[in-house]
Structure 1
Amino acid sequence: MMRPSPSRNWYEPGASGIVPEGGRATIVSTLSLGTYLGPGRHQEGNTLSILLVVQAGHDETTGNESQLLQFGNSTVFGTILDRVAGFEDGPVVVAISDLPADDQLEEIANEREIPVVRAPSDDLLARFVEVIADYPAEHLVRVTTSSPLIDRHLISSIVDAHTTSGADYTSNTLLRTHPAGLDVEVIRSDALLDAAEQAESADERAGVTTFVQRRPADYKLQAVLAPGDYEDHAWSGDDESLERITQLIQKSGGSFDRAWDNLLAYDRPQIPDSAVRLRVARNNVLEHLDELTDTIGFPPDPFPIGDPTRRSWGVWAGDELIGAIVVSVQNGWGTLAGKFRPGIDGDLAPQALAAVDERLLADEQVIALTIDGSAIRNYRS
């Protein structure tokens, strides 16, 4: 593992033990500590307050080929590291596998004087425990290489929301309003250590934060919303998206360091006029709830807005609000309820449920969906 060069002046050697706050975590060890001396706003004694971890390389199901694709003047991975350079809340560490195939990623990080933690490829959650062992911090920020346009200023705003709220876990993915490819998670290290000790299912270990997300009764969750609804913008790291992103950046002037919100004006996602769309519920849904009188299940009253333990969506057909759907989540089980405008086209409600399926298939917090206690969907094998 490479330590930061002295010029960065981030760490000094030390030794101590970490006892997570609240007494929930069962992993307690004597670790090599360091003092963060950089420009960040969150500094506490000899343990970092904030550590940004870029997860990369091989894991249980994927390789690193897409991370090494050309993107701008570098690779996808190199561009991500360049975009988080200058993050002001704490240092940056890369977490990759110990497979020789990931050596090139370590070289790219070394060129930028970013430290690297290497661990086995078959347990991503254990990889983050290795990060905590080498770089103790109260909170970890997790970003991955599926976010080639990740924005350090967006990360800082989510860190601020996390530390201000006192949450155990904060993300802009619980209620998605940002473009896919701007995913940021912040988690208390003691919560992550809980997960490392207790998570048994393969998806909870591969998802790193999934164990915590699925247990809102045990951990305080915080959702961060964008100022508008931008989830139709697809900026993730697959080949098709990379081509679109490159064209988008060229339209905007060619800078691969442009802030994410400055790119929105140049992106025109194609949305069929006839499509039923889900949008995270806001006040524009609350204002019309009285008009939605046909019900599915038992919709909560009051209708939840911004609750990270519930997926609350307005259902739109074009510019018309035709319904509102809530999926309440506990221990991975989602319970669906909804309200619809009476007399809507008979095909629209099934289309809305299909849209819910599409969202929940990509939602790590939800294992299965029920209505009135009867299982109707199982999203995880």
Structure 2
Amino acid sequence: MTDTLIIVQARTSSSRLPNKVLLPILGKPMLSHQLARLAKVKTPHKLIVATSTLTSDNPIAALCKQLDISCFRGSLDDVLERYYQAALTNNSDGKVKNIVRITGDCPLIDSHIVDRVIRLFLLSQVDYCSNCEPATLPDGLDVEVFSFEALKKSNFLAKKPSEREHVTSFIHNNPDSFKRINYRHTPDLSYYRWTVDEPEDFDLINKIYQSLYQKKTNFTLTDIFELLQQQPELTKINQQFIRNEGLIKSLMKDEELGYE
């Protein structure tokens, strides 16, 4: 059993773009493409999907069975608890030490970047490492790595609704309790948006796959960047949306409920 567990959170009940993880790209569900890209990660790992117990997420479980990928099913809204239980379920022998968090709306995830963030985490001997604090890569290439113990501590102590919904928010909110480090990329490409939350996002992703996939199934950040340099009009498709809109809404709900 490897000590690194990659957990991809996925659901079909997205409010802005329902069923987005199963939308077809070149005849395959978007999530299928993302899992294939994550399978290229070289760091020894186990790859699983964590979805909810809602019947609406049965197609995700069915897809995982078809792809021979483990699927854990837990709480829809308490995603932190879902992650913790997914990790526990896949840690019966106690060997899992490191958790990699990936969201299921990132079909351009780059396995090379995932490996680099994991490597930095391991070399730095920290509790948490990401490429998001601050972000220097496109939205949609986010990678977070944290220890099993950090996940366990977060699940036990996190109280705010935003901390239950957004898995690593408790770690971000308590910098004195966790050793952290950030992976920085040069040049800064954080102005690109390659995640899928809106129909326009999916339109862009579709066009990128149509341009690159047939020539190179595991196309990289560099390949996408070169394409967008050649066709700058593509970037305009979804440039009106802001990063982390879901988290911002969750923080506003915290305030409404009286959390500071």
TM-score by length of 2: 0.83
Judging changes above 3 Å, is the alpha-carbon distance between structure 1 residues 240 and 360 closer, same or farther for their aligned structure 2 residues?
Answer: closer
Q: Please give the secondary structure, in 2, of the residue aligned with 1:53.
A: strand
Alignment of 1:163-202 (within 5 A): 163-202=122-161
More helix, by proportion: 2
Q: Distance in 1 between matches of 2:108 and 2:255?
A: 29
Count of aligned pairs: 240
User: Does structure 1 residue 208 correspond to structure 2 residue 167?
Assistant: yes
Judging changes above 3 Å, is the alpha-carbon distance between structure 1 residues 248 and 177 closer, same or farther for their aligned structure 2 residues?
Answer: same
Judging changes above 3 Å, is the alpha-carbon distance between structure 1 residues 191 and 166 closer, same or farther for their aligned structure 2 residues?
Answer: same
Partner residue in 1 for 2:225: 264
Partner residue in 2 for 1:250: 210
> Which of 110, 115, 130 in structure 1 is aligned with 2:70?
115
Q: Percent identity?
A: 25
Q: Distance in 2 between matches of 1:233 and 1:202?
A: 29
Contact 1:125 1:206 in 2 (8 A): yes
What's the offset of the Cα at 1:380?
A: 5.2
Asked which structure has the greater RCO (Cα within 8 Å, sep 6+), the reply is 2
Q: Please give the secondary structure, in 1, of the residue aligned with 2:3.
A: strand
More strand, by proportion: 1
Give the aligned CA root-mean-square deviation in angstroms.
2.7
Contact 2:12 2:20 in 1 (8 A): no
Q: What residue identity is the alignment partner of 1:114?
A: I
Contact 2:12 2:22 in 1 (8 A): no
Alignment of 1:338-353 (within 5 A): none
What's the offset of the Cα at 1:228?
A: 0.9
Q: Please give the secondary structure, in 2, of the residue aligned with 1:142.
A: strand
What's the offset of the Cα at 1:260?
A: 2.0
Judging changes above 3 Å, is the alpha-carbon distance between structure 1 residues 66 and 86 closer, same or farther for their aligned structure 2 residues?
Answer: same
Q: Please give the secondary structure, in 2, of the residue aligned with 1:267.
A: helix
Q: Which runs of 4+ in 1 moved over 4 A?
A: 58-64, 268-272, 358-364, 378-381
Q: Please give the secondary structure, in 2, of the residue aligned with 1:88.
A: coil
What's the offset of the Cα at 1:200?
A: 0.7
5+ residue gaps, structure 2, are 237-241
Q: Distance in 2 between matches of 1:173 and 1:380?
A: 24
Q: Which has the larger radius of gyration?
A: 1
User: Does structure 1 residue 94 correspond to structure 2 residue 49?
Assistant: yes
5+ residue gaps, structure 1, are 1-35, 37-47, 273-357, 369-377
Partner residue in 2 for 1:306: none
Contact 1:158 1:224 in 2 (8 A): yes
Q: Distance in 2 between matches of 1:249 and 1:149?
A: 9
Contact 2:105 2:140 in 1 (8 A): yes
